[in-house]
Amino acid sequence: MSRSRRVVLAVVAAGCAQSLAAQPFGLGRAATPAEIAAWDVDVAPDGSGLPPGQGGASRGEALFADFCAGCHGDFAEGVGRWPGLIGGYGTLDSRDPVKTVGSFWPYAPTLWDYVNRSMPYGNAQTLAPDDVYALVAYILSANDLVGPDTHLTEKTLPNVVMPNRHGFARDDRGKAERHLWRAEPCMTNCKPEVEIRMRATDLDVTPK
């Protein structure tokens, strides 16, 4: 959701930061406010873009049973290969990280954004804002990140601190993997021997 229309208009008036004052080709037409509102639904980590609304974990549990449990399980534990949404704390630096909403997602408003836009799977973009708040409250309570009696609103949801909030870093391959930019690799007698350590046919998981 754009948050600086006023700033932009001020800049236009000042005539400095706009790419071009006039439309180069005059193609397209102005988007109406209702059209922008209909599609401009993304939610940022600070909660900007969240619509007004409220929902509680207990109502969310009932909604979850109706709309989500078929794939994610009654307790958000996941069914079959569908993703579990709970657990996994403290596993991210282990041999087998378990990445769930609770253990991995850095921002609670992103959960609202994803549920609102992409769920329920196969019937997306049909939930009312209050239903999304309720579902988010339930999923967060199933992760013990809010209490079972919690009601969330557009004001309170951004305040929920996710455990992996500081678990992400920007791409630093250019520095951390600088040694892979090495110009001239070895061409002859590069290693004394070669040993086969693993075979795909031992695993035997390839489609026939």
Partner 1 sequence: MSDAAPPSRRAVLTGAAAAMVAGRARADDTLITQVQPWSRNLGDPVAAAPYGLPTPHEFDVVRRTVDWLTADAYSSVSFTPIHALDGTITPQGCAFERHHSGAIDLRKEDYRLMVMGDVARPLVFTYADLERFPRDTRVAFCECAANSGMEWRGAQLNGAQYSHGMIHNMEYTGVPLRLLLEEAGYDTSRRWVYVEGADAASNGRSIPIKKALDDVLVAFKANGEALRREHGYPVRLVVPGFEGNLWIKWLRRIEVRDTPVHSREETSKYTDTLADGISRQFTFAMDAKSVITAPSPQAPVRHGDGPLVISGLAWSGRGAITRVDVTLDGGQNWKVARLAAPPAPMALCRFYLDVAWDGAEMLLQSRAIDDTGYVQPTKAQLHAARGMNSTYHNNGIQTWLMRADGSVENVEVS
Q: Is 184 exposed, middle or buried (0-12, 13-18, 19+ CB in 10 A)?
A: exposed
- Cα 138 vs. chain centroid, distance in angstroms? 17
Q: CB of 157 within 8 A of CB of 134? A: no
Q: Between residues 18 and 74, which has the closer beta carbon with respect to partner 1?
A: 18
Q: What track of x and - describes contact with partner 1 for positions 119 through 148 (by CB under 8 A)?
A: --xx-xx-----------------------
Question: Which residue among 58, 59, 89, 114 contacts partner 1 (CB under 8 A)?
Answer: 114
CA angle 136, 64, 155 (to 5 degrees): 20
Stretch of residues binding partner 1 (CB under 8 A), selected from 7-15, 55-63, 129-137, 139-147: 7-15
* The one among 53, 54, 99, 156 contacting partner 1 by CB under 8 A: 99
54 contributes a contact to partner 1 by CB under 8 A:
no
- Maximum C-alpha span of the chain: 71
User: Nearer to partner 1 by C-beta: 39 or 66?
Assistant: 39
Whichever of 45 and 53 has its CB closer to partner 1, that residue is 45
Considering only residues 14, 34, 93, 175, which one is a binding residue for partner 1 as defined by CB under 8 A? Answer: 93
In whole angstroms, the minimum distance from the beta carbon of 58 to partner 1 comes to 25
Cα separation of 187 and 26, whole Å? Answer: 57
Secondary element (H or E) of residue 153: strand 151-153
Within 8 A by CB and 6+ apart from 105, the residues are 111, 162, 164
Residues 150 to 189: which contact partner 1 by CB under 8 A? 167-173, 176-177, 180-183, 185-189
Residues 10-49 that bind partner 1 (CB under 8 A): 11-12, 17-21, 23-25, 27-31, 35-36, 39-40, 42-45
How many residues touch partner 1 under the rule CB under 8 A: the total is 85
Q: What is the DSSP string of 70-99?
A: HHH-TTS---TTSPP-S--TT-TTSSS---
In this structure, are residues 109 and 45 in contact, taking their beta carbons and an 8 Å threshold?
yes
- Contact assessment for residue 132 and residue 120, using Cβ atoms and an 8 Å cutoff: no
Closest CB 55 distance from partner 1, rounded Å: 19
Nearer to partner 1, 116 or 150 (CB): 116
The structure tokens listed for 85 are: 């949404």
Nearer to partner 1, 34 or 66 (CB): 34
